[in-house]
Chain A
Amino acid sequence: MMKTRNKSIPVFCLALPILLVTQCSLWAQDVSFNRDIRPLLSNRCFACHGPDAEARASGLRLDQADGDEGAVGSVIEPGSVDASEMWNRITSDDESEIMPPPGSHLKPLNEKELDQVRRWIEAGANYESFWAFDPPLKPSTPVVANKSWSTQPVDLYVLKKLESLQRSPSAEAMPRTLIRRVTLDLTGLPPTRAEIAQFLSEYQDSPEQAWEQLVDRLLARPKYGEHIGRYWLDLVRFADSNGMHKDFYRNQTAYRDWVIRSFNDNLRYDDFVRYQLAGDLYPNPSQDQLIGSGFNRLHLIIDKGTALPEESFSKNVIDRVTAVSTAFLGLTVQCAQCHDHKFDPITQKDFYSLSAFFNNIDAKPETISKKGPKMGLQQPFISLGTVEQESRLKALKQNRTKLVGKLKRANDEADKERLTADLDRLTKELDLFDRSIPKAMVMRERKEVRPTFVLERGMYDAPGEEVHRNTPGFLPPMKKIGKVPTRMDLAEWFVDPKHPLTARVAVNRIWQQFFGVGLVKTSEDFGNQGDVPSHPELLEHLAVSFIESDWNIKALVKQIVKSKTYRQSSSATPEEFNADAENRLLARGSRYRLDAEMIRDQILATSGLLSGKLYGPSVKPPQPEGLWEAVSMRGEKYQADTGEAIRRRSVYTFWKRSMPPPQMTILNAPLRDACIARRERTNTPTQALLLLNESEYLKAAAALAATVLQQPIQQRISFAWESVTARLPDEKELLELQKLLGDLQAKYSTDPELADQLVQSLELSQDNSLNGEKMSPNSNAELAAWTVLGSVLYNLDITKTKD
């Protein structure tokens, strides 16, 4: 069946070499253990013959060649399949013998897989150490046939692979495509018409220089941090609410702003890691170091009065460890909560030893319940006031203390009355002033180290063996400074240049931001069950150069976007798209739908409405009525902001975990109740409804229309098209839009009421202006027609998509 299918669909054959053939030295063999055999054994065998000693059957482990229970010599005879019991079992016809057993619901190995196993055993059954657990090593520079395409290392690795498949890279994309692609990728916003013009003229003179200057300009913009930082916020499940029970406001503003600032200031990645894991443990921690340690406060948390505090405590710790392992290790350590990991060499003891770094926070495991924590803050937190603010606060507090004293001593009723009134006033003033000073929840260690136990089956009330702070045994050992290892020791362990995972996981995620898919597709899982890298040596190169650059993120980003690989055209034939839908081969530029935030920000930016304001508390743009009430325990109503607040970038949109903004979630933004390393992208009718009907998006189309109407008549359509897509319309496109405009103008002039309805819904300001342009009351039909035309532009596939 399988064979017939492959024969009958040539497209599938195109896809196969991508997976099967890599020519890099690391993976050069005909069959590679790391690439071909380990994933297969992991998926089909490790659950019973792998790292988990509890579940191990027949005293056999296939994840190790040697040792008491190792495979080689017992069930695998190198060189001979016939003498290998494992081969007999995976090829058996006997239901009582075949592996994996039918009851496991695991698929038997197919012909291709059996062939790989056979060849691997015949070639000597060589077990390689797992690639991702060995320190990254600088690979040799590949030799390519086409010497003229590029001399950049990134390109050489990509080209080498293409050449091995008798393929060649695509041509460079058109300059308008290039500037839109890189501006979106580096700032999350499209280029303006002026920026396009500047780039086109520079590009004509010197493409390379123009490109480099453009990239440098974009990297220097504060918008860069707002965009790149947002991916980090997904990863650490940043949100503005507790996420459980009454889902109270949780004030993490300072942490979000710090992330944005860190990317803009190009804080070294190793420091970025240190601050978050252990910023509070520096000898004299700076404000930023403390704010960064707020990473440990981002988990979901319940309010008092319903759960048992012991259980909540345990959940918080597990959530923290899960975040650390997803974000920094790229491993599913949390799978070892209840038992040893089934696929990776992480023991349950490892999990709890790691948790011992994170269970000693000097904070209550639940937040207060009645009205929720004041200002969304739960101890420990720090004040971020200026010197003046702090001294005024101190003065106010002293005054208050004095007043209280006076009141106590007062005997006269009139005095008492006056002093009480003064005290009330002062208390209010103090409270108001206190609320105006930003604060940040931080990490703080208890004085004594809390003992930690393995929790049997992960149950909070079933402590087992006592464990001590340590890192997983299969990874390099941690150095400790004092007697008891600290989170700072742990942070240093993570950022040691020899750590096999930290740099690989980080560069892979950054790569993913520019190509849609990481070199390792499973960017959250670099373990045995994760995907093998599409370009292993490129990943090694990026990881090593990242470490050698002192963990310089902007340099890494620049290396990626400077590459010819990145600059390829994304056009191809439908067959090529189908054969490599995710562009793993990198034979073209990557084309995929923009993130929800980018789609909204682009609409605001191109219509001229976007606020450039940076930082500060989250804002609430309008959303359909009734969403919060429908889920809330407290009858909460969503109170939309007005004015500039509703025109700010989406990274500042208020994120209630129980009901995040639908404009975001409909377009695949995660709920932020779990750590997400990569978003998925779907294409659904509800997305079409959102983009066609959301009232704020229509208002933006009207603002665009108002600007367009100020242009000379002949240039209007081109102006609108270029503003939205960064391209100029060709003949056909112009013609189609002219026809559309004509039909809309006719429709709205014959149905002026409809036009009035549209214009009324825009809620123009009192002077009847829109986007700074004064609208004439007689021009409703015209404005309506152009607004609808703008909405059509915002709904083009090329508008919501990169390229």
Chain B
Amino acid sequence: MASFTTFDTLLNRRRFLTHTGMGLGVSALANVLAGQGLAATTNTPRDGVRNGTHFPAKAKRVIFLFMAGAPSQIDLFDYKPELAKLFKTDLPESVSMGQRVTSMTKGKGRLIAPSKFKFSKQGESGIWMSELLPHLSRHTDDLCFINSMNTNAINHDPGKTSFCTGSEIAGKPSMGAWLSYGLGSMNEDLPDYVVLPSAKWSGKVNVQALYSRLWGSGFLPSKHQGTSFQAVGDPVLFLSNPAGVDPTVRRRMLDSLGTLNQKHFAEIGDPEIETTIAQQEMAFRMQTSVPDLTDISGETTDTLEMYGPDIDKPGSYARNCLLARRMAERDVRFIQLFHRGWDHHSRLPANLAGQCRDVDQPTAALLQDLKQRDLLKDTLVVFAGEFGRTVYCQGNLTAENYGRDHHPRCFTAWLAGGGVKGGFQFGKTDDFSYNVVEDSVHVRDLHATMLHLLGIDHNRLTFPFQGLDQKLTGVEPSRVVREIIA
């Protein structure tokens, strides 16, 4: 790289950085500029990266385990032992208060379906955990539960869209894109924001769709969009050389491209040509860094076994958890797993058990693995679905079998590492896990809190679009949930 001796090269460098997703980190740029006696107020909202953190961050990176389809909080985290006595009785009007329901249960009876699963107290904190999550239960003292989560959306598409982008309406940037925009990258060879969708899952009913807008960049420059890793073929689209082109041929191509592009830069003068050269070289480096990332042959047997039997299957949630740890080690800023199959309108017990088998051991292993590598302290792990599920049954109700409809009024998310309290519960729901009765946390409050842990004031991470200084948390008031911060 050129040395920064003149302002011209400095500006070119800055132009280069603002056009790339994977240049030096912003903090590094700030140092370079500060070295020149210039503060890094890089006020280039069109293409630029903002100027880093607003205050010291507790977390450097995020692993967001998104349970698409909405797992049942009543059967997993929000223990309501008294419900057993109310089996198959009507949900009292005083609880439901004529609230909006989906078209699937509108106008139908509301019979209480207690969880058929056993709960037990776990860890020193003595928090109640479902028998469906035996491995995760051993980490209860690391987890920070928010039982009072709520959202506006009652259906999956808007629910997921608002959980991932802050707005039910399509077209807004996703959280990872905001972070890439706000914080820049920490590594030179990998994207800031990686998405790992599971390729398989156990839930057999109603597997809801994903949309690339869930990791899109909305109105932010598209370099901030999530890069989705594929379970089949190239982990990053178009990563491999085509047949008949080996690394030496590729290197030779890039040498000629570099020479010719450089010549054209000298003639035309457009610094964008230099960016093209840099990006072609970055692409070449990714051809090594990404396979190196996804090649797990160097992992010990102990490590692999810790993640459970699915670790051998590419695209499994277990494999993706391991990849998430490898990305955290390589300082990918925002790593988002999507595991589908949680939409249990019917046959919930069987399907939920399967889904829990998918995620329980790998999630526990991920926490353990991060911890033993001293990464959990500055990695924020978040586990959530887009909303919760109803206490009342959808479809036929027996003690052994039931289904649950969507429920936006309360659900549970948990966080770990990254500066949050461990073995802690926040927020309360009523005896029916129907309404929040204490310390409501809206999805946008969770967003504000996550940004806060990363050193960002959610009110100040903005981008001008359609006449507004847009932000992840939108125009409704939101708050940082300071009570959960260690």
Inter-subunit contact A796/B257 (CB<8 Å) = yes
A693 contact from B230, B238, B272, B282, Cβ within 8 A: B238
Contact A571 B267, CB 8 Å, known A1-B39, A682-B19, A684-B21: yes
Inter-subunit contact B252/A528 (CB<8 Å) = no
B279 contact from A5, A592, A626, A684, Cβ within 8 A: A684
Inter-subunit contact B273/A747 (CB<8 Å) = no
A573 contact from B103, B155, B269, Cβ within 8 A: B269
A308 contact from B39, B102, B211, B280, Cβ within 8 A: B102
Inter-subunit contact B199/A309 (CB<8 Å) = no
Q: Interface digits, A319-357 against B, CB 8 Å rule (1 contact, 0 not)? A: 000000000000010010000001110000000000000
Inter-subunit contact A761/B280 (CB<8 Å) = no
Contact A302 B157, CB 8 Å, known A630-B230, A689-B237: yes
Q: Is A90 interfacial (CB-CB < 8 Å)?
A: no
Q: Is B22 interfacial (CB-CB < 8 Å)?
A: yes
Chain A contact residues (Cβ within 8 angstroms of B): what range? 35 or more
Q: Interface digits, B264-282 against A, CB 8 Å rule (1 contact, 0 not)? A: 1101111111011101101
Could you tell me the distance between the alpha carbons of A195 and B374 in the complex, rounded to whole angstroms? 65
Contact A784 B244, CB 8 Å, known A632-B209, A671-B213, A686-B238: yes
Interface residues of A in 582-632 (CB under 8 A from B): 591-593, 624-627, 629-632
Q: Is B320 interfacial (CB-CB < 8 Å)?
A: no
Smallest beta-carbon distance A177→chain B, Å: 10
Could you tell me the distance between the alpha carbons of A592 and B279 in the complex, rounded to whole angstroms? 16
Q: Is B344 interfacial (CB-CB < 8 Å)?
A: no
Contact A246 B209, CB 8 Å, known A335-B468, A740-B256: yes
Inter-subunit contact B245/A577 (CB<8 Å) = no
Q: Which residues of B contact A784 (CB under 8 A)?
A: 244
Chain B, Cβ-Cβ closest to A246 = B209
Chain A, Cβ-Cβ closest to B19 = A683
Q: Is A200 interfacial (CB-CB < 8 Å)?
A: no
Q: Is B82 interfacial (CB-CB < 8 Å)?
A: no
Q: Interface digits, A550-589 against B, CB 8 Å rule (1 contact, 0 not)? A: 0000000000000000000011111111100100000000
Q: Interface digits, B33-47 against A, CB 8 Å rule (1 contact, 0 not)? A: 000011100000011
Inter-subunit contact B39/A683 (CB<8 Å) = no
Could you tell me the distance between the alpha carbons of A456 and B336 in the complex, rounded to whole angstroms? 35
B238 contact from A461, A694, A797, A803, Cβ within 8 A: A694
Inter-subunit contact A803/B155 (CB<8 Å) = no
Inter-subunit contact A736/B222 (CB<8 Å) = no
Q: Which residues of B contact A581 (CB under 8 A)?
A: 15
Inter-subunit contact A524/B221 (CB<8 Å) = no
Q: Is B125 interfacial (CB-CB < 8 Å)?
A: no
Could you tell me the distance between the alpha carbons of A795 and B281 in the complex, rounded to whole angstroms? 12
Inter-subunit contact B209/A633 (CB<8 Å) = yes
Q: Is A114 interfacial (CB-CB < 8 Å)?
A: no
Interface residues of B in 176-225 (CB under 8 A from A): 191, 197, 199, 206-213, 216, 221-223
Q: Which residues of A contact B213 (CB under 8 A)?
A: 671, 673
Contact A574 B243, CB 8 Å, known A682-B19, A792-B257: no
Chain B, Cβ-Cβ closest to A784 = B244
Contact A630 B199, CB 8 Å, known A308-B103, A797-B261, A803-B268: yes
Could you tell me the distance between the alpha carbons of A8 and B240 in the complex, rounded to whole angstroms? 45
Interface residues of B in 450-473 (CB under 8 A from A): 457, 459-460, 462, 464, 466-469
Could you tell me the distance between the alpha carbons of A13 and B282 in the complex, rounded to whole angstroms? 33
Inter-subunit contact B170/A306 (CB<8 Å) = no
Inter-subunit contact A658/B257 (CB<8 Å) = no
Of B6-14, B56-64, B89-97, the one touching chain A? B6-14
Chain A, Cβ-Cβ closest to B234 = A624
Inter-subunit contact B466/A332 (CB<8 Å) = yes
Could you tell me the distance between the alpha carbons of A757 and B240 in the complex, rounded to whole angstroms? 14
Smallest beta-carbon distance B154→chain A, Å: 8
Smallest beta-carbon distance A373→chain B, Å: 17
Smallest beta-carbon distance A783→chain B, Å: 10
Could you tell me the distance between the alpha carbons of A302 and B208 in the complex, rounded to whole angstroms? 13
Contact A686 B237, CB 8 Å, known A308-B103, A761-B243, A784-B244: yes
Q: Interface digits, A777-803 against B, CB 8 Å rule (1 contact, 0 not)? A: 000000010011001100111101101
Q: Is B373 interfacial (CB-CB < 8 Å)?
A: no
Inter-subunit contact B242/A744 (CB<8 Å) = no
Inter-subunit contact B223/A754 (CB<8 Å) = no
Inter-subunit contact B157/A624 (CB<8 Å) = no
Q: Is A674 interfacial (CB-CB < 8 Å)?
A: yes
Q: Is A695 interfacial (CB-CB < 8 Å)?
A: yes
Contact A736 B256, CB 8 Å, known A685-B22, A758-B244: yes
Q: Which residues of B contact A694 (CB under 8 A)?
A: 238
Q: Is A213 interfacial (CB-CB < 8 Å)?
A: no
Inter-subunit contact B20/A797 (CB<8 Å) = no
Smallest beta-carbon distance B293→chain A, Å: 14
Could you tell me the distance between the alpha carbons of A574 and B11 in the complex, rounded to whole angstroms? 10
Inter-subunit contact A795/B280 (CB<8 Å) = yes
Q: Is B239 interfacial (CB-CB < 8 Å)?
A: yes
Could you tell me the distance between the alpha carbons of A693 and B241 in the complex, rounded to whole angstroms? 5
Inter-subunit contact B238/A624 (CB<8 Å) = yes
Inter-subunit contact A305/B232 (CB<8 Å) = no
Q: Is A247 interfacial (CB-CB < 8 Å)?
A: yes
Inter-subunit contact B102/A307 (CB<8 Å) = yes
Inter-subunit contact B155/A577 (CB<8 Å) = no
Q: Which residues of B contact A1 (CB under 8 A)?
A: 39
Contact A688 B209, CB 8 Å, known A8-B7, A627-B230, A698-B242: no
Inter-subunit contact B170/A674 (CB<8 Å) = yes
Chain A, Cβ-Cβ closest to B220 = A680
Inter-subunit contact A626/B272 (CB<8 Å) = no
Of A160-168, A415-423, A486-494, A662-670, the one touching chain B? A662-670
Inter-subunit contact B221/A658 (CB<8 Å) = no
Interface residues of A in 624-664 (CB under 8 A from B): 624-627, 629-633, 657-660, 662
B8 contact from A574, A626, A627, A787, Cβ within 8 A: A574
Q: Which residues of A contact B20 (CB under 8 A)?
A: 683-685
Inter-subunit contact A686/B227 (CB<8 Å) = yes
Contact A796 B264, CB 8 Å, known A246-B209, A461-B100, A684-B20: yes
Q: Which residue among A335, A574, A657 has the maximum number of chain B CB atoms within 10 Å of its CB?
A: A574
Could you tell me the distance between the alpha carbons of A486 and B221 in the complex, rounded to whole angstroms? 40
Q: Is A217 interfacial (CB-CB < 8 Å)?
A: no
Q: Is A19 interfacial (CB-CB < 8 Å)?
A: no
Q: Is B484 interfacial (CB-CB < 8 Å)?
A: no
Inter-subunit contact A525/B466 (CB<8 Å) = yes
Interface residues of B in 136-162 (CB under 8 A from A): 154-157
Interface residues of A in 271-310 (CB under 8 A from B): 300, 302, 304-309
Could you tell me the distance between the alpha carbons of A169 and B212 in the complex, rounded to whole angstroms? 44
Q: Is B295 interfacial (CB-CB < 8 Å)?
A: no
Chain B, Cβ-Cβ closest to A737 = B256
Could you tell me the distance between the alpha carbons of A29 and B450 in the complex, rounded to whole angstroms? 48
Smallest beta-carbon distance A637→chain B, Å: 12
A245 contact from B15, B156, B228, Cβ within 8 A: B156
Q: Is A410 interfacial (CB-CB < 8 Å)?
A: no
A300 contact from B37, B156, B170, B275, Cβ within 8 A: B170
Q: Is A690 interfacial (CB-CB < 8 Å)?
A: yes
Smallest beta-carbon distance B198→chain A, Å: 9
Smallest beta-carbon distance B343→chain A, Å: 9
Inter-subunit contact B257/A683 (CB<8 Å) = no
Q: Is A108 interfacial (CB-CB < 8 Å)?
A: no
Q: Interface digits, A722-736 against B, CB 8 Å rule (1 contact, 0 not)? A: 000000000011001
Q: Which residues of A contact B272 (CB under 8 A)?
A: 577, 591-593, 683, 797, 801
The list of the 5 closest CB pairs from A to B, nearest first, reads A758-B244, A529-B467, A674-B171, A761-B243, A688-B283
User: 22 interchain pairs (CB within 8 A)?
Assistant: A11-B8, A105-B469, A106-B469, A305-B103, A306-B104, A525-B466, A573-B269, A578-B271, A591-B268, A593-B272, A666-B238, A673-B213, A682-B19, A686-B283, A689-B286, A690-B237, A737-B256, A751-B246, A758-B245, A792-B257, A792-B260, A797-B273
Known contacts A305-B104, A732-B263; can you find 9 more A-B pairs with CB under 8 A? A244-B157, A308-B103, A633-B207, A666-B238, A671-B213, A680-B46, A682-B222, A695-B242, A796-B257
